Structures are given as structure tokens and as C-alpha cells.
A = this chain, B = another copy of it.
Amino acid sequence: MRILVVNVNTTESMTESIGAQAAAAAAPGTEIVPLTPIFGADSVEGNYESYLAAIAVMETVRRYPERFDAVIQAGYGEHGREGLQELLDVPVVDITEAAASTAMFLGHTYSVVTTLDRAVPLIEDRLLVAGLRARCASVRASGLAVLELEQEPQRAVESIVEQARLAVVEDDAEVIVLGCGGMAGLDSAIRSRVGVPVVDGVASAVTIAESLVRLGLSTSKIRTYAPPRPKTFTNWPPH
């Protein structure tokens, strides 16, 4: 089966590391196709860029020329998953929800450690809308920007470990979720330092997408995610 894993920002090196993380988690026979959005910001760290990414991810997937079996939106706490579900017949998995859903099988509560403080409310709201917030102990910010994660992996690990430990001690978290697509690959280093399960969104999204495909399940088309109605568009899509 072929799974598209779509980065939300236009930084190619991040697409590559997300793709590598996805491939490492994939079952034999799963082809991972990492995609970079055809437009947008080099990093997504707020609502403007996130809304832009939402539509960029949709347009990027629409232009993908081959058949595929599932799509993963690889941005943590970003807008847009609902639109993809309308546009596509195949399963759509957002890493925010994949990680939270996976974490809930591993402990009584989980905390998310993300990048900048400004990302915290976006994540909280996405978890609320997804119905996955009841057992979220906290969302904490490491203070690192998205691109710093890549440039300074050792500092990233330290910052995430520090917040993960605080989540465990102060917030009673039993599982840590890595709250940024750009944290892909840091999970085992953090797990060994903090002593609790650490869930990576990209990896868990891959196994969930594979599972849905294997079970023959896809998005319900009966109401919220029915295909878009025919429309007349002005100045869209951009050339």
C-alpha cells in the first residue's frame, strides 16, 4: 500500500526526516511517499501559517498524480484534516490525533511537549475538537522553534526532556507525546532519559493508517465529510 505523508511546511529537509521516520515505522510492503506542500511557510508556528498549510496540504494531495491508499498530515496541532477527509475517499490521519490516541492505550494520562508556547493553545483546541482531551494532563512548550529542532538536535533533546520530566512530576503525565512533526526520530533518546513511553506522531500515524487500510475502513461520507458540493471557484487554484 502507498501512504502519502505530507509535511505542513516547505522545508524539504524536514519532509525528508518525516519521511524517514514514517518509513522506519512502516510495515513491509508499505510505500511511504513524503510530500512537501506546493506553497506555504518554511515553518508553521501559528494560526496564519497553519491555515495556509491546511489549504496547501489539500492542494498538494489533490495534485499527486498516482493512486494512494491513505494520507497522513504530519503537522502537530495544525488545521486542515477535516478538509482532506472531505476531498478523499481514503483514510486521513492527523499526527496530533494519532499520537494522542496511541498514548491513551499506554497510560492513564499523557502530556504533549511541543515547540513554542504559542503552539500550545492550537494543540489544546485541536485535541478538544477531536474529543481526545479528557486524558491530556498538559501541553508544554520546550521553547524551541520548529527549525531549531533540526539545527540543534542535542539542545532539542535537552529541552524536551526537561519539559517531559516536569510533565511527569508536576502534571502526573504517564506518557509523553512529541508535539511536532519535526521531533521525528527523537523519541528513543527521550524515552531512555525520562523513563516513560514516548509517542511519536508520525510513527503512530503510519501504523494507524496501515491498520485502517488493512481493515477496509475509511472516512464516513454520510454527513460531515461528504464530498464537497459542486462549486464555481474564482481565482483558484493558483497557477
A residues in contact (CB < 8 Å) with B: 10, 25, 27, 37-43, 45-52, 54-56, 58, 79-80, 82-83, 85-87, 91, 93, 97, 101-102, 104-109, 117-118, 120-122, 125, 128-135, 145, 168, 172, 174-175, 188, 195-197, 199, 203-204, 207-208, 210-212, 214-220, 222-226, 228-229, 231-236, 238-239
Contacts and interface: CB of A to CB of B under 8 A. Distances in A.
26 contacts: A25-B215, A39-B233, A40-B233, A41-B231, A41-B236, A42-B231, A43-B231, A45-B229, A47-B86, A48-B58, A48-B83, A48-B86, A48-B87, A49-B228, A50-B83, A51-B51, A54-B79, A102-B215, A104-B130, A106-B219, A107-B224, A121-B224, A196-B220, A204-B215, A207-B211, A238-B239
B132 A106 contact: no
A131 B121 contact: no
A215 B153 CA distance: 21
Contacts of A197: 217-220
A108 B122 CA distance: 10
A54 to B, nearest CB: 5
Contact of A91 (B82, B86, B105): B105
Given A39-B233, A48-B86, A204-B215, 8 more contacts: A40-B234, A40-B235, A47-B82, A47-B224, A51-B79, A91-B106, A172-B223, A197-B220
A55 to B, nearest CB: 5
Contacts of A108: 121, 220, 223-225
Q: Which of A27, A38, A197 has the most CB of B within 10 A?
A: A197
Contacts of A220: 106-108, 174-175, 196-197
A226 B54 contact: no
A56 B104 CA distance: 24
A30 to B, nearest CB: 11
A39 to B, nearest CB: 4
A182 to B, nearest CB: 15
Contact of A223 (B27, B56, B121): B121
A224 B27 CA distance: 31
Contact of A215 (B195, B203, B236): B203
A226 B48 CA distance: 11
